[in-house]
Structure 1
Amino acid sequence: MLFNIFISDLDDGIKCTLMNFADDTKLSGKVDTLEGRATLWEDLDRLEERANKNLMEFNKDKCKVLHLGKYNPGVQHRLGSTQLGSSSVDLGVLVDNKLSMNEQCAAVAKQANRMLGCINKGITIRDIEVIIPLTSALVRPHLEYCVQFWSPLCKKDVDRLERVQRRATNMIKGLGSVPYEEG
């Protein structure tokens, strides 16, 4: 509670969009014009000044810039005297500069398939009562993490994720080799 009170005025004087997540802060703004860049830089300076005044520190190694948009100039930003690095990940979701989620779908399918491989190697009982809870607890979280944000739109991405689900179904004794129906 004291921490929340301490940071409650963090957005005072900030012109860009500022979002707080527990002990993380996200500053976002449009930088396609010189005015937009200047506003973002002023806000970064304002956050740094406030942190110094209150004897706080930003973990500058964790501070990254996410460049989005086809015409994003990819300008370098700084926090204090530290140049901020770039990232293609926001909250653990892979995004390219065109907002394509192809890499995210591939990464999710790979993680889910790894978990299915562990289940396949480690569990000899293939009953539905065993496999369903394991896939629900170990595989499904990978498939559903932030799905509202990265919701797959391309057919190849949807097919990739459905192959993971079919693989899980095929592991269950009596349900294996279920034909795939277009629907």
Structure 2
Amino acid sequence: MNSSLTRTVKCNESFVSSDTKPNGAVDTLEGRDAIQRDLHRLEEWDHVNLMRFNKAKWKVLYMGRGNPQYQYRLGDEWIESRPEEKDLGVLVDKKLDMSWQCALAAQKAKCILGCIKSSMISRSREEILPLCSALVIPHLEYCIQLWGAQYKKDMELLEGVQRRPRRCSEGWSTSPMKTG
């Protein structure tokens, strides 16, 4: 990350690869003004360094109860607010409720399981389980430290997806082999 950009803004920021995320507590007018000043500084930095921000990707995620939900601008454009935002493959909402993320991870894992089931000729457990471990489990464990299941229903959903390859391989081993 360019050190001149890190010196430009005063609020908290997180930098991941090419993403810049200004953030801060905005419980007073001074907090709101500080964020807006930083956005103005970023716009100035953008022009000075001839590096254009993609303003369509800028979003505001309001968190917490009683948030006054101030409006912000980047240059002459208002920044859109969203009730949830997906970042680095993790869906975060304003309540930090991870049920949607659990459902998305389970859905993706089930799709991969379906592809494995429809494309495998061999139905042996010894071949199915390593495939599932390599292709399915990473989707269920991606960023789990951030979005771990909070509710029993979410845990049961994810555990059900993890048990599915065993049940499928048991059922597959007794089913007739596909022939071309």
**Structure 1 length-normalised TM:** 0.85
Which residue does 1:114 correspond to in 2? Answer: 111
Which of 13, 21, 29 pairs up with 2:16?
21
Which of 25, 29, 33 pairs up with 1:34?
29
Which residue does 1:63 correspond to in 2? Answer: 58
Which residue does 1:126 correspond to in 2? Answer: 123
Q: Which has the higher contact order (CA 8 A, sep 6+)?
A: 2
State how far apart, in whole Å, the 2-side matches of 1:74 and 1:124 are: 55
SS of the residue corresponding to residue 70 of structure 1 reads coil
**Structure 2 length-normalised TM:** 0.86
SS of the residue corresponding to residue 72 of structure 1 reads coil
Q: Is the 8 A contact 2:123 2:172 kept in 1?
A: no
**1:10 counterpart = 2:8:** no
CA 1:74–1:168: 2 relative to 1, 3 Å: farther
CA 1:14–1:143: 2 relative to 1, 3 Å: same
Q: Is the 8 A contact 1:69 1:99 kept in 2?
A: no
State how far apart, in whole Å, the 2-side matches of 1:76 and 1:113 are: 40
Shift of 1:148: 0.7
State how far apart, in whole Å, the 2-side matches of 1:157 and 1:151 are: 9
Q: Is the 8 A contact 2:98 2:149 kept in 1?
A: yes
SS of the residue corresponding to residue 56 of structure 2 reads coil
Which residue does 1:146 correspond to in 2? Answer: 143
Which residue does 2:81 correspond to in 1? Answer: 86
Q: Is the 8 A contact 1:10 1:47 kept in 2?
A: yes
State how far apart, in whole Å, the 1-side matches of 2:8 and 2:148 are: 35
State how far apart, in whole Å, the 2-side matches of 1:53 and 1:70 are: 38
> If each structure's helix is expressed as a fraction of its own residues, which one has the higher value?
2
SS of the residue corresponding to residue 55 of structure 2 reads coil
Deviations along 1:52-98, one digit per CA (max 9) or x if unpaired, are: 11111101111122222223233222211122223412332222221
Which residue does 2:177 correspond to in 1? Answer: none
State how far apart, in whole Å, the 2-side matches of 1:13 and 1:60 are: 18
Q: Which runs of 5+ in 1 are unaligned?
A: 177-183
CA RMSD of aligned residues (A): 1.9
Which residue does 2:132 correspond to in 1? Answer: 135
**1:103 counterpart = 2:100:** yes
| Identity %, equivalent residues | 50
State how far apart, in whole Å, the 2-side matches of 1:100 and 1:78 are: 27
State how far apart, in whole Å, the 2-side matches of 1:148 and 1:109 are: 16
Shift of 1:116: 0.9
Q: Is the 8 A contact 2:125 2:166 kept in 1?
A: no
Q: Which runs of 5+ in 2 are unaligned?
A: 174-180
